[in-house]
Structure 1
Amino acid sequence: MSRHTPPHPVDIEGLFPELLPWRRQTVRLHPRPGAPTIHDSSVGGPLLWPQDQPWPVCDGEHYDRDTQEPYAGEVYLVPVVQLHRAHAPDAPFPQGRDLLQVLWCPYGHGELLCPLPRVYWRNSHDVHRVGPTPSPHAEASEKYIPDPCTLHPETVTEYPSWDLPEGLDDLLYERFYRLERETGWSYQYHLSDAPGIKIGGYPGWTQDPVWPECGWCEQPMDHLLTVSSWEYDGASWHTWLPAEDRPGDGEEPWGHERARAAQNPAGLMLGGVYVFECWSCPERPTDHWFDCS
């Protein structure tokens, strides 16, 4: 089943034409519990991984998320996202690549105890023999291991929320406030950037924005992927919950099985992991940031 975000309840660019230069496209992945195969686009599913390429491991310093005790030894990375270009042609695939695979170490790293992501771009036609996807490490926190989900990608338009330039934020503040007072629609929660797991567009920040700079060209990096727990919350569901998952008749989603299943389909428990690339550099170097929940 495809997923469709309802049209915005107001004409955002008509009300706030200053936002037009800041419009971006994002691909909402809309994961839903399922049994994906190696050939499917998925969250937490098995990967189309070449048999002759060793499965990546983390051998750095990592910690149990719950106890914060160090764990010594190599850990297989776990699949987070596999996305075929054919399923999301608007995603920022590099030339000659049609498959994105993002994995991470399901232990905490650094001061923020963040799962450590890695990005792989492939040409799927080069994968002739597929190796097995290892089981997650038995002692890793389930909060960092996504449950298998099939994807229903959808391209939507976003506008900056926490990323509004300071001068523009000051300029529009009173009009945002007036719109919310008169209609009940909050620019930040209902109209700006999409929640959930998504490719491109704006990061779904839960705290103040932190855009890494590229170590090569020293320019701000581009947002590749947001991985967060929630596809909607108590405010955002009014505009961001897909039509196919709504209970109907204006009901709130909390007592409806299909809507509840859409809220945290991958079973993750984190604020947000944000993966960045530099699309100006041929090597497309990566970085990441983590918001605690």
Structure 2
Amino acid sequence: MPRTTPPRPLDVEALFPEVAAHRRDAVRLHPRPGAPGVRDSSMGGPLLWPRAEPWPHCEDDHPRTAFSPPPAPEPLPLVPVLQLFAADVPELPFPPGTDLLQVLWCPFDHEAGYVPRPELRWRSASDCADPRTAEPPRPAGAADDYLPDPCALHPERVVDYPNRDLPEEVSEALEERFEQLEEETGWSYWSHLSVSEGIKAGGYPTWTQDPYWPDCPGCGHRMEHLLTVNSCEFDGESWRTWLPVEDTPATGTVWDLPYEERTRIQCPPGLMLGDMGGIYLFDCRRCPDRPYAYHSDCS
């Protein structure tokens, strides 16, 4: 079943033409539990991985925390997070000769952000004539919160307007109008009208703290936002505009549903990154080797 974000309740660009120049296209991926195959775009599903290519492992040191004791001191297999084919998400900036993006991560805390450490692979699907058929590995001792359940994707195109990335001079100029709008209508630019929530490609990161845009270690330019992997599709403030139409209860609100049913709608892959946080992936499209970086934050 497709997933459809409700139309914004107000015309953002008519009300605030100052933000129009900063709009960006995004693709909400809407993962939902399923049984994807190796040739499907998916989250937490099997990857189209050449049988002859060794499976990647993590050899980093892993800190001990109250919530995530370190694993045994041995290389740990990475786990599949996202697989995106150009046919499903053509908006991704695929390097020449590739049509497949794969994201894996080590499902244990790392010093950088105390979250899983992701790795990216760009591929040509045609090079994987003899794919691996074994089930994706699940390292012993990894927290369920870091192991996405297998999900099919339902890509949907939406428009993002900057939230915390709104230039300071624009934000200050619009502050009173934002407040007046919320007083008169109940709709908040920050929560309801700006940045799309959920797991997505492109657009703006859904920061919960101050923005952090990494610079490319090669050319020194600021990297571009590639993907956001959030803990949930919406939160207690944003649900009115980012809860898909197809998941809207016939009566009451999503918060009136039993906890288990609401959780299946709000957090379909079963991830929890910190306190309802997210991991943001960036890449440099100036450098031919496509360096990438990540950053995380939470409430």
Give the shorter-chain TM-score range: over 0.9
Is residue 155 of structure 1 aligned with residue 165 of structure 2? no
Cα deviation for residue 254 of structure 1 reads: 2.4
Query: In the alignment, which residue of structure 2 is the partner of 1:32?
Result: 32
TM-score, normalised by the number of residues in structure 2? 0.93
Looking at structure 1, the residues matched to 172 and 272 of structure 2 have their Cα atoms a distance apart, in angstroms, of: 34
Looking at structure 2, the residues matched to 68 and 240 of structure 1 have their Cα atoms a distance apart, in angstroms, of: 31
Is residue 290 of structure 1 aligned with residue 296 of structure 2? yes
Looking at structure 2, the residues matched to 58 and 64 of structure 1 have their Cα atoms a distance apart, in angstroms, of: 16
Looking at structure 2, the residues matched to 175 and 75 of structure 1 have their Cα atoms a distance apart, in angstroms, of: 52
Residue type at the aligned position of 2:271: L
Query: In the alignment, which residue of structure 1 is the partner of 2:271?
Result: 268
CA contact (8 A) 1:91 1:200 kept: yes
Is residue 277 of structure 1 aligned with residue 278 of structure 2? no
Query: In the alignment, which residue of structure 1 is the partner of 2:227?
Result: 225
Residue type at the aligned position of 1:193: V
CA contact (8 A) 1:90 1:155 kept: no
Residue type at the aligned position of 2:184: E
Cα deviations by residue, 1:228-263 (Å, 9 ceiling, x for unpaired): 1110112211111111111135x2112347654220
Looking at structure 2, the residues matched to 67 and 235 of structure 1 have their Cα atoms a distance apart, in angstroms, of: 27
Cα deviation for residue 63 of structure 1 reads: 3.4
Query: In the alignment, which residue of structure 2 is the partner of 1:164?
Result: 166
Cα deviation for residue 37 of structure 1 reads: 1.2
Residue type at the aligned position of 1:252: T
Structure 1 residues 290 and 241 mapped into 2: Cα distance closer, same or farther (>3 Å)?
same
Structure 1 residues 244 and 64 mapped into 2: Cα distance closer, same or farther (>3 Å)?
farther
| Structure 2: gaps spanning 5 or more residues | none
Cα deviation for residue 67 of structure 1 reads: 4.5
Query: In the alignment, which residue of structure 1 is the partner of 2:79?
Result: 78
Residue type at the aligned position of 2:246: E
Looking at structure 1, the residues matched to 244 and 175 of structure 2 have their Cα atoms a distance apart, in angstroms, of: 28
Q: Secondary structure at the match of 1:87?
A: coil
Query: In the alignment, which residue of structure 1 is the partner of 2:249?
Result: 247
Looking at structure 1, the residues matched to 65 and 116 of structure 2 have their Cα atoms a distance apart, in angstroms, of: 9
Residue type at the aligned position of 2:47: L
Q: Secondary structure at the match of 1:155?
A: strand
Q: Secondary structure at the match of 1:239?
A: helix
CA contact (8 A) 2:68 2:108 kept: no
CA contact (8 A) 2:161 2:194 kept: yes
Q: Secondary structure at the match of 1:261?
A: helix
Cα deviation for residue 81 of structure 1 reads: 0.4
Structure 1 residues 134 and 33 mapped into 2: Cα distance closer, same or farther (>3 Å)?
closer
CA contact (8 A) 2:86 2:94 kept: yes
Matched residue count: 292
Query: In the alignment, which residue of structure 2 is the partner of 1:180?
Result: 182
CA contact (8 A) 2:29 2:200 kept: yes
Q: Secondary structure at the match of 1:179?
A: helix
Cα deviation for residue 102 of structure 1 reads: 0.3
Residue type at the aligned position of 2:114: L
Please give the residue correspondences for 1:184-199 in structure 2 after superposition, counting only pairs within 5 Å.
184-199=186-201
Cα deviation for residue 182 of structure 1 reads: 0.6
Cα deviations by residue, 1:139-192 (Å, 9 ceiling, x for unpaired): 111111111111000110000001111111101111111111111000011010
Query: In the alignment, which residue of structure 1 is the partner of 2:58?
Result: 58
| Structure 1: gaps spanning 5 or more residues | none
Moved more, 125-134 or 229-238: 125-134
Residue type at the aligned position of 2:17: P
Cα deviations by residue, 1:194-221 (Å, 9 ceiling, x for unpaired): 1111111101111111110111111111
Residue type at the aligned position of 1:61: D
Q: In percent, how many aligned pairs have the same letter?
A: 53
Please give the residue correspondences for 1:50-129 in structure 2 after superposition, counting only pairs within 5 Å.
50-63=50-63, 66-71=66-71, 72-110=73-111, 112-129=113-130
CA contact (8 A) 2:70 2:108 kept: no
CA contact (8 A) 1:6 1:240 kept: yes
Looking at structure 2, the residues matched to 74 and 102 of structure 1 have their Cα atoms a distance apart, in angstroms, of: 18
Cα deviations by residue, 1:20-55 (Å, 9 ceiling, x for unpaired): 110000110000111111111111111111111111
Cα deviation for residue 283 of structure 1 reads: 1.5
